[in-house]
Structure 1
Amino acid sequence: MDIVERFLNYTRINSTTVPGAGHLPSSPGQTELAHLLAGELRGLGLAVEERQHSIVVGTLPSNVKDASRKVPTIAWVAHLDTSSEYDTDTHAAIVDYSGGDIILNPARDIVMRVDEFPELTDYIGDRIIVTDGTSLLGADNKSAIAEIMHAMQTLQQNPGIEHGDVKVVFVPDEEIGLLGAKALDVASLHADFAYTLDCCAIGEIVYENWNAGEFHITFQGQTAHPMSAKGKLRNAVLYAQQFISMLPPGERPEHTENREGYYWVKSIHGTVAEAKIVLDIRDFTQSGFEHRRKFVATLVESFNRLHGVHTVTQNYKPMYRNAAESLQGPNRYPVDLALDAMKAIGVEPRSIPMRGGYDGAVLSEKGLPCPNLFCGAHNFHSIYEFLPVGSLMKASEMVVEILRRAAKV
């Protein structure tokens, strides 16, 4: 099957994640996609396990003839879900791009403009897969799924390409807290290291990301009728507002870049009686992250001293750690292997600090070193998401080249 056809087939399954669903996977479309992929992997000659939570694990045995050579087992991981910004079905189209703006939806006057997305000019002469402007494309992360599946097809059709044992792993609900990776039994893979393909433009490689945590903070107020409220009314909404104003104003996502950390108030809702906020903290260094965590905890204590005990309570949970901590020393090998493979296929690597999380951060923390490689797509989580076909094909070629090079060890 052609790699573009594969990708388009996967986008036709609505696998939008559902925040707060309370079950894994959070949406039936992810299970539908998992069943489809399990069948396709079997058709490509892999042994397949369909595990709990719609986790799919495929195994392609090594074809290295010299049994004395120790060849690493490599796992390739992608997520089944797409982000929840839009839950509409995807209607993808392929544009032969010769430059200029791209009209996504003439009826709604939705246009992807070069002055807003200048990176389009890098792909003049390429084919570009786009949406009709009413949904996400789902290249995050269905491009990775297509790239991994096409690589398995390439290996099947070219038995002369030596490779060690290969694990193909598809997990649900990356977009709402890396939940599938957290549920994955990493030890059962018996892999030496892994890769995700979950960063953007061609050539990008990530081996450094956030430390991340989340606070759920609740403010208790006291209701009273306005006619007799003086000295009695305690407004939880205003408490939440005051608390937010005490966070460093310049350390928000909209004011930071590169390796600058932040505090991010993601949601607020409530009444006079009770109000709640969700507050994320992010930092690339462990010391900086601990400083932010302690700052919020201290702010809660100070707020209670100011307004009374139990006015505000906090519930903190860690989300993921910086994968860089797990990709040092001998564990640096998968990074160097990927860098060499990119250069070998004519792709210039670009290392970037990832201002976000990916499944590999969880896997690395669990003991499976896992850098993050490009899938080739742009504008994740946006109706302007697009995927150059040339980048899609290069990412799959990269997968094969990494496996080929690892088998030469």
Structure 2
Amino acid sequence: MDIVNRFIRYTKFNTTCNRKNAAEGQIPSSEGQWELARFLENELVELGLEDVKVNEKCIVTATLPANTDAPIPTVAFFGHLDTSAERNTDTHAQILPYSGGDLCLNPELGIFLKQTDFPELQNYVGDDIIVTDGTSLLGADDKAAIAAIMHVLTHLKANPEIPHGTIKVGFLPDEEVGLRGAKAFDVEAFGADFAYTLDCCAIGDLVYENWNAGDVKVVFNGQSAHPMSAKGKLKNSLLMAHKFIAMLPGGEAPEYTEGREGYYWVKELHGNSAQTVLTMDIRDFTVDGYQQRQVFLKALASSCEQLWGEGSVVITIADRYSNVENSLQGENRYPVDIAFAAYEQCGITPNVVPMRGGYDGSILSQNGLPCPNIFTGAHNFHSIFEYLPVKSLKAAGDVVLAVVEQTYRRFS
């Protein structure tokens, strides 16, 4: 089975994550992830891999033993089982030739992938493109990763003359709802030395830098009073929250920033005059910048508390994940160097992208498993206009195989 048909087969599993179930602590958050996990388990067993298992958290792991005595570090590859919750309908993937202009996904509903909306389509004129019928996500995020990894394992089993060290794979649940599979993953027991996720964008993209990310909760405690006798008594926590928000740095919000520019993101505000709760995200690519944002918010909360009274403002800041680059410094940078060599081997120019978000590798890295992020070739994640050029999917598989080969060359 070629990589394209393999990918399309995986898209037939509806693995849409369920945010409500995730919030209630269920992992995986959807039954479809179990179905795909068990299917992959059977494929891995039939392929002849060792230590194949699906644990109680729906984490799939397996090992392809080394076929050489050379002291090669153990490399791992990861994909995630779930697809985003923006759409929960079944995927009807189709392969369409692209000759330029707008691409009709669904003539009955009049749904088109428009070149004016997605100008990068011009890079794929003359190629075949995998799309949906415009009623669902495609699920290339992240079933393209699973397809590429399984394709390479199949190739290595069929070609035992290709020397390689120990290779491990992991397929994780619920990446789209807080990287929950990665957080539940036992890095130490897994036993890999370094790893790669395939959870990125266009052909050539390479990520080894992302946010230092934190969650912020600010509770404003006011004092309720009847309006007929409120003068001097009412402390309206809603207005306190709005004044706090107004004192955040202008322009440092997601809608005003790009590249490596950090931000404060006001995400949710709810309450009444007596108590209001504000939730925020803080993001910064540098450790110093991230820490400075924490210091600023704590100082702002302290100043407001002095103004409004003791206990009027209570702030809590918790780390969510750290920048992968923090784990790839000095002698630990070799996974990045191997990725560059693999791209070069495949004739692909690396496009280094600072990811303005998190991925499983950010959790795996901070837990001791350095993990850059390789492209799958897909575009428009989380959208009914998600698409995957066939040549890009095949290139993702080529790069995974080249990583294996470059690892052997580097350490043999």
TM bracket (short chain): over 0.9
The residue aligned with 1:179 is 180
In structure 2, relative to structure 1, the CA distance for the partners of 1:150 and 1:312 (3 Å cut) is: same
Residues 143-179 of structure 1 show CA distances to partners (whole Å, capped at 9, x for unaligned) of: 1111101111111222222211110101112222222
Separation in structure 2 between the aligned mates of residue 289 and residue 263 of structure 1, nearest angstrom: 10
The residue aligned with 1:286 is 287
TM-score by length of 1: 0.94
Separation in structure 1 between the aligned mates of residue 362 and residue 342 of structure 2, nearest angstrom: 22
The residue aligned with 1:235 is 236
TM-score by length of 2: 0.93
Residues 317-347 of structure 1 show CA distances to partners (whole Å, capped at 9, x for unaligned) of: 1011111121122211111111111111121
The residue aligned with 1:394 is 395
Structure 2, unmatched stretches of 5+, are none
The residue aligned with 2:169 is 168
**Correspondence 1:56 to 2:57:** no
Separation in structure 2 between the aligned mates of residue 224 and residue 105 of structure 1, nearest angstrom: 58
Shift of 1:226: 4.1
Separation in structure 2 between the aligned mates of residue 79 and residue 365 of structure 1, nearest angstrom: 18
Matches within 5 A, 1:6-405: 6-19=6-19, 20-47=23-50, 48-64=52-68, 67=69, 69-405=70-406
Separation in structure 2 between the aligned mates of residue 83 and residue 280 of structure 1, nearest angstrom: 20
Separation in structure 2 between the aligned mates of residue 368 and residue 44 of structure 1, nearest angstrom: 26
Aligned length, in residue pairs: 406
In structure 2, relative to structure 1, the CA distance for the partners of 1:407 and 1:231 (3 Å cut) is: same
Indicate the SS of the match to 1:216: strand
In structure 2, relative to structure 1, the CA distance for the partners of 1:238 and 1:18 (3 Å cut) is: farther
Separation in structure 1 between the aligned mates of residue 296 and residue 243 of structure 2, nearest angstrom: 16
Separation in structure 1 between the aligned mates of residue 112 and residue 142 of structure 2, nearest angstrom: 23
| Matched AA of 2:40 | L
| Matched AA of 1:179 | R
Indicate the SS of the match to 2:144: helix
Structure 1, unmatched stretches of 5+, are none
In structure 2, relative to structure 1, the CA distance for the partners of 1:216 and 1:166 (3 Å cut) is: same
Residues 17-66 of structure 1 show CA distances to partners (whole Å, capped at 9, x for unaligned) of: 233232222222222221111111111111202123111111111112xx
Shift of 1:100: 0.7
% identical aligned pairs: 56
Shift of 1:405: 2.4
Shift of 1:108: 4.0
Indicate the SS of the match to 1:54: coil
Bigger Cα displacement from structure 2, 120-129 vs 13-22: 13-22
Indicate the SS of the match to 1:83: coil
Separation in structure 2 between the aligned mates of residue 317 and residue 149 of structure 1, nearest angstrom: 36
Indicate the SS of the match to 1:218: strand
Residues 120-143 of structure 1 show CA distances to partners (whole Å, capped at 9, x for unaligned) of: 111111111122333322211111
Indicate the SS of the match to 1:175: helix
Indicate the SS of the match to 1:6: helix
